[in-house]
Amino acid sequence: MKNKIFATVESNSFLILRLALGIIFFAHGAQKLLGWFGGYGWTGTIGFFSSLGIPAALGGLAILTEFFGGIAIILGFLTRPAVLGLAIVNLVAIAKVHGANGFFLNGPTNSGIEYVFALFMISLFLLIKGAGSLSIDNAISKKLK
């Protein structure tokens, strides 16, 4: 079971996807957790989530998943659990925030699902394939064999 979490496809190119996805989620998590990059911080974000009917505990879990999941993806450590959590966060974002605004970001609300959907699909790809050769997961997988 342990090796299924860490096993990965031998490819250096996955690092490119991991860095892109990890940086995006780290930055969005930092907005929500710490108020960096123009974000509202923990209290403001929990308030926003509450206005959507999301309980504070689940909102907090989503914030921590984005922040620490982003770091995990960048490092390629526990990538599958991290992207699973982030895929769920994205599905909730589509259902609660972006879904009613259509597909495109350039619509009247600038808030369609296309961006969140792309992040969801990249998360699914990494969930299926793993972190790639240049990852801590790969090093652990080799030791477990």
Higher pLDDT: 133 or 107? It is 133
The torsion angle over the Cα atoms of residues 1, 141, 77 and 15, rounded to 10 degrees, is -130
In contact, 114 and 69? CB cutoff 8 Å: no
**Does residue 51 register a pLDDT over 90?**
yes
* Residue 46: partners with Cβ closer than 8 Å, 6 or more residues away: 56, 59, 60, 63
What pLDDT was estimated at residue 108? 78
pLDDT mean across residues, the chain? 94
Q: What angle do CA 123, 111, 107 make, to 5 degrees?
A: 125
Give the pLDDT mean for 74-84: 98
Q: Residue 110: pLDDT band by 50, 70, 90 thresholds?
A: confident
What pLDDT was estimated at residue 2? 65
The CA distances from residue 26 to 13, 30, 67, in Å, are: 20, 6, 5
Q: Which two tokens stand for residue 90?
A: 């994205």
**Does residue 105 register a pLDDT over 90?**
no
Q: Residue 82: pLDDT band by 50, 70, 90 thresholds?
A: very high
Residue matched to tokens 């206005």:
51
Spans of all domains in the chain: 2-144
In contact, 131 and 76? CB cutoff 8 Å: yes
**Does residue 33 register a pLDDT over 90?**
yes
Give the pLDDT mean for 109-121: 92
